[in-house]
Amino acid sequence: MGRSPCCSKEGLNRGAWTALEDKVLTSYIKAHGEGKWRNLPKRAGLKRCGKSCRLRWLNYLRPDIKRGNISGDEEELIIRLHNLLGNRWSLIAGRLPGRTDNEIKNYWNTTLVKKAKPESHSGSSKETSPAPTKFRPRTPSATATQPQVIRTKATRLTRMLVPSLPLLIDDYSTTTSPLDLRVPQTQSVSSLPEDAANTEVHIQGTDAMNFGCNGFQAAAGEDEDAMGGYDIPLDDGMLNDWTGNDNCDLEKYGASLDLDSLAFLLDSDDWLGQENSI
């Protein structure tokens, strides 16, 4: 249909990259920086699609990438993040420095899916992103017991919703799920109504990890009204942090969730067992 191809495929190299191509691409990006992928091949003298160049750079040539030897901790974190996020590989990769989404995806599909399956039911985020064909559950009933995984599709939020249920919990171990994040009593948040100081925050319909960065539940779209609660405009800083990818300052908002470590995910022994209660 109407969609034009990302590039003309005539005369382009395909398949595995050669050392020379890698060198050319690396040199070009070092000299000119990333971006402009569509024009890059022509400028660099590569007979490759821009998309292919981007993928090669992001997944293999970037200097900060560490390959292979995924540690036990990383493996465990991947499993837990997958339970939390589903097949949001880029988000998962974002919590594992030096790892790429493609690597994690492959590692999951070849190794972890077997380990995680008994407990997690694959944690597939939803019907639209099932496990790859060869690992797909054989029976449709498998989906019936799948945990409800947070839809983590990045959604820019302009408002946040803090439900009005007051709770007095600041200990993750007592929460009903790892997604129940508590705003500590001691925190001071200018935009919070006074009586919302101890407010249970549910993640719903948005990127849970991004949420974690901002420290509050951000109600996306139609969920907003259904929740009932405090409707709070997000300030600029929170909006700037909305992707949760870097430098987000949780302390600023008084939340104790640390995206670097996500320690609570690793420390919560019963986390895998709790997922079904989400």
**Contacting DNA (CB under 7 A), which of 24, 44, 81, 91?**
91
> Which CB, 4 or 186, lies closer to DNA?
4
**Contacting DNA (CB under 7 A), which of 27, 129, 176, 240?**
129
> Which CB, 25 or 192, lies closer to DNA?
25
The b-or-e profile of 196-205 (16+ CB within 10 A means b, else e) is bbbbbbbbbb
Residues in a beta bridge with 274:
none
Binding of DNA by 138 (CB under 7 A): no
Instruction: Report, in Å, the least distance between residue 51 CB and DNA.
Output: 6
Q: Residue 24 is inside which H or E element, if any?
A: helix 19-32
Binding of DNA by 240 (CB under 7 A): no
- Cα 57 from Cα 10, distance rounded (Å): 22
Q: Residue 162: which of 146, 186, 183, 136 has the closest Cα?
A: 183
Phi and psi at residue 89, to the nearest 5°: -65, -40
Residues in 149-208 that interact with DNA by CB under 7 A? 152-156
Binding of DNA by 17 (CB under 7 A): yes
> Which CB, 14 or 23, lies closer to DNA?
14
CB–CB of 147/79 below 8 Å?
no
Binding site for DNA (CB under 7 A): 3-6, 9, 13-17, 35-39, 48-52, 54-56, 59-60, 67-68, 87-91, 101-103, 105-107, 109-111, 124-125, 129-133, 152-156
